[in-house]
């Protein structure tokens, strides 16, 4: 396995995954609407078009593409875009693999701990736990259903249900520290199952290289934190003022609309399955993860 095809390669995780794979000697290509390099391939999810040579070239596919869930207010149109960007892109990949003469041997797909629902309280959930019934849970269910069609081709498929990715350059951490003063959201007691971006990228490589790995795994660190704990530790690592008074839930609902449920709720997610498979975390503790992130801020 030497040729790795990535969707969503220009995103936060995709760029760092590309860099790590190239360091390890893999050849990497992206699926893109506007390929900028000869090694990249054209695809257009809206038109359901893809360069047939992409799958002929690929030994493995890493599927990261999907509209960001926290970038814009959730209008009906936005919610449809979040769903369709995941299900239609996966369906397009399924068709391309099905039609290819030389099929990739491995398909690794991103997913999300949103599968378990907006708020599962203090209960520790794992890969066998029931799905939620809210919008994001329905999105993840539909997304994973499309991935399982690829698994039936058959291919070795691994689904990584990703938690809150910690990185200074983007994602939840950057949003949390945007205001002049850092403060917890709502009660601050809601659980946040986080993972350092470097551990997440390494986990994708682990899933590619460990050929016995198959099925669904939670991509979260060993030590979930409450929103209050994470906000306080992040503020300290960043050198930002922390205010222990939570932003009221009603205010968040006014600003964010339906999306407020995502930040006012939380999940305490187990990662025992991926650890038992042999994955080792470089950043298992929150304080060490945040110290690393902010000591290298702007250098990655």
pLDDT digits 0-9 by tens, 37-57: 777 999 999 999 999 999 999
Q: Is the peptide bond before 154 cis (omega within 30 degrees of 0)?
A: yes
In a domain, residue 300? The reply is no
Confidence of residue 199 (pLDDT cuts 50, 70, 90): very high
Average pLDDT of the segment spanning 180-209? 94
Q: Among all chains, which residue has been given the structure tokens 């291919």?
A: 155
Backbone angles phi, psi at 58, to 5 degrees: -80, 135
Flag whether 249 is in a domain: yes
Task: Quote the CA–CA distance of 288 and 291 in Å, as a whole number.
Answer: 5
- Coil vs helix vs strand at 146: helix
- pLDDT confidence of residue 25: 97
Q: What is the CATH number of the domain that holds 274?
A: 3.40.50.720
Say if CB 272 and CB 221 are below 8 A apart: no
Report residue 11 CA to chain centroid gap. Answer: 10
Residue 131 lies in a domain: yes
The predicted model scores a pTM of 0.94
Q: Quickly tell me which residue has 């979260």 as its tokens.
A: 220
Residue 176 lies in a domain: yes
194 lies in some domain: yes
Q: Label residue 258 by pLDDT band (50, 70, 90).
A: low
* Per-residue pLDDT reduced to its tens digit, 135-172: 999 999 999 999 999 999 999 999 999 999 999 887 77
Whether the Cβ atoms of residue 116 and residue 129 lie closer than 8 Å to each other: yes
| Contact between 13 and 172 (Cβ < 8 Å) | no
Q: Is 127 a member of any domain? A: yes
Provide mean pLDDT across the span 280-291.
96
Residue 31 within any structural domain of the chain: yes
pLDDT averaged over every residue in the chain? 91
Q: Determine the Cα–Cα distance for residues 235 and 242; give it in Å rounded to an integer.
A: 6
Unique residue bearing structure tokens 């991935």: 147
- Would you call 227 helix, strand, or coil by DSSP? helix
Q: What is the token pair recorded at 109?
A: 């797909």
For 137, the token pair is 């849970």
In-domain check, residue 72: yes
What integer is the mean pLDDT of 243-266? 71
All residues at 6 or more sequence positions from 129 whose CB lies less than 8 Å from its CB, including other chains: 116, 120
Query: How many domains, the chain?
Result: 1
The residue-averaged pLDDT of 88-94 equals 98
Residue 298 has pLDDT above 60, yes or no: no
- Domain interval for residue 59: 3-295
């Amino acid at each position: 396995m030497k040729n790795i095809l990535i969707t969503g390669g220009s995103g936060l995780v995709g760029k760092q995954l590309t860099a790590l794979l190239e360091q390890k000697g893999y050849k990497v290509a992206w699926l893109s609407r506007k390929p900028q390099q000869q090694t990249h391939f054209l695809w257009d999810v809206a038109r359901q078009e893809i360069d047939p040579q992409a799958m002929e070239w690929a030994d493995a596919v890493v599927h990261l593409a999907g509209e960001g869930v926290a970038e814009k207010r959730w209008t009906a149109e936005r919610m449809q875009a979040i769903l369709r960007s995941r299900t239609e892109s996966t369906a397009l990949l399924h068709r391309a693999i099905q039609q290819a003469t030389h099929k990739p041997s491995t398909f690794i797909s991103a997913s999300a701990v949103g599968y378990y629902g907006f708020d599962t309280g203090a209960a520790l959930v794992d890969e066998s736990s029931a799905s939620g019934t809210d919008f994001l849970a329905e999105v993840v269910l539909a997304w994973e259903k499309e991935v399982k069609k690829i698994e039936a081709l058959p291919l070795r498929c691994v689904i990584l249900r990703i938690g809150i990715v910690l990185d200074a350059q983007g994602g939840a951490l950057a949003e949390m520290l945007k205001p002049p003063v850092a403060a917890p959201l709502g009660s601050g007691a809601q659980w946040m199952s986080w993972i350092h971006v470097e551990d997440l990228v390494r986990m994708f490589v682990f899933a590619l290289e460990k050929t016995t790995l198959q099925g669904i795994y939670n991509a979260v660190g060993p030590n979930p934190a409450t929103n209050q704990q994470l906000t306080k530790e992040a503020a300290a690592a960043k050198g930002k003022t922390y205010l222990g008074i939570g932003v009221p839930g009603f205010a968040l609902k006014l600003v964010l609309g339906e999306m407020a449920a995502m930040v006012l709720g939380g999940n305490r997610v187990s990662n025992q399955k991926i650890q038992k498979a042999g994955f080792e975390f470089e950043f298992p503790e929150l304080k060490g993860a945040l110290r690393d992130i902010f000591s290298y801020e702007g250098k990655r």
